Chains A and B, each alone.
Chain A
């Protein structure tokens, strides 16, 4: 009871005793866990390296800037590849996530068992980072843009699939009932009553994912899956920091641009 009576005075406290104890317990537990974790990290850290980090940073920036502007000419092709990895990867993900989400949504799934399989695919795809997918695909189909496209696509399935099936489950039921009552086939019911309701959000999610994928596509090259990440990896390994600076600038501009495009398109849709 937040209000206690002692003699004839009323004491007000924000929480009652049990809640306070639980809150304290929670805080102490969290602090302990964080402390232990910190010990582990700290044990694995060479603190003398950390101590001269500001110096390192200033040297690092000094070597990166001014960037090698001439290197830009060698970046156009990797940039085009990066854009393609993101766009084609998103399209691939969309192509698979679209039917998958109808199998995964409670109100459109043909069978509960199918639903669980679809949900499993979505979860696995989401749990694995695109860079890990890239590692795997480079091992299978060899380095190159194709591995990047597949990596981005495989990661996008889970992201889009999850948001898609959630929006299918949120559709209103009345139009479904009405279209069913006209004697329409199940596919027609889907295309006339569910699809119009979810298309705007599907489009928004896809554009949003494309924007994220541009960012992801800049790094899949680090493990050999094409795009500007290949140049980044080569430049870092060769300690060509002025080239690295140039690459950072290019990535910054491209990602800001894609964010702007995606915001504009989403606005136009809604």
Chain B
């Protein structure tokens, strides 16, 4: 389903974020990407839908080589790839329904989206998804009126309304409390299973990853250092991924936490980094 071949990414700053990544994700599999901050997890999943342009290598979704697509082709393939974000990335001043329907933007023309005249089938699906994630009572509320967990549910509904083949999930629980984190992870994996989607979840929390993923990929300094079942993740393996004492030092010495990566992503896209 998803195939990465020799994917590398070097930022204009000279930072080598990814080195020769080879990865194949079959249909219906939930893969958790783990690794220390700055290991390249965020960059990797953004390379898949080319929010970040990979420097080298090929990425295939089914029979399409994403890395070779033109702008238009890229927009078409992005419709098949749903994405869920750490900070939810909702448009706060739009209502829940508008946020969810924005998942259909790739399918409707500009005027339909401007006038909010989506096909009734899309609206039906949106209602169905909102019911599934338990937000049916919030349809016309503004997104900034919701709690963190509720916002993430809106984000999930938006991604699934795209009717994707593949789900990219970037730190879905980093801004949530432990209980909500589990609920969100369960929701994502259940929904993916119902629809037979391949999922790549990029996640900090190793126990949570082991609980919900069928496969774990460990990333360190831009390279895959573990690829196997959750049960195979021994203490020794974790040490290879995170480093025993590097764990803390890494975080301090390297400014490479998730924010720094996002900042680099912003630089790459030629946009200023707004304050969070």
Contact = CB atoms under 8 A, between A and B. Distances in A.
B94 interface: yes
A196 interface: yes
Contact of A183 (B85, B105, B272): B105
Contact of A192 (B113, B162, B272): B113
Contact of B76 (A107, A177, A183, A187): A183
B274 A170 contact: yes
B105 A181 contact: no
B91 A183 contact: no
Q: Chain B interface mostly helix, strand, loop or mixed?
A: loop
B81 interface: yes
Contacts of B162: 182-183
Contact of B75 (A174, A175, A184, A193): A184
A124 interface: no
Nearest to B72: A185
B87 interface: yes
A184 B83 contact: no
A182 B102 contact: yes
Contacts of A191: 110, 113-114
Contacts of B272: 106-107, 169
Interface in B227-276: 266, 271-274, 276
A171 interface: yes
B77 interface: yes
Given A170-B274, A185-B110, A179 B102 contact: yes
A182 B159 CA distance: 8
B51 interface: yes
B78 interface: yes
A200 B93 contact: yes
A199 interface: yes
Nearest to B168: A181
B110 to A, nearest CB: 5
Given A106-B272, A173-B271, A177-B51, A188 B90 contact: no
A178 interface: yes
A171 B90 CA distance: 13
A184 B271 contact: no
A178 B89 contact: yes
Nearest to B87: A174
B79 A182 contact: yes
B103 A182 contact: yes
Given A107-B272, A183-B78, A191-B114, A197 B102 contact: no
Given A182-B105, A182-B158, A196 B93 contact: yes
5 contacts: A175-B92, A182-B78, A183-B75, A183-B77, A197-B91
Given A178-B158, A192-B113, A193-B91, 16 more contacts: A173-B274, A174-B88, A175-B92, A176-B271, A177-B51, A178-B83, A179-B102, A183-B77, A183-B105, A183-B162, A185-B110, A187-B110, A191-B110, A192-B98, A192-B105, A197-B93
Interface of B: 49, 51, 75-79, 81, 83, 85, 87-94, 98, 102-106, 110, 113-114, 155, 158, 162, 168, 266, 271-274, 276
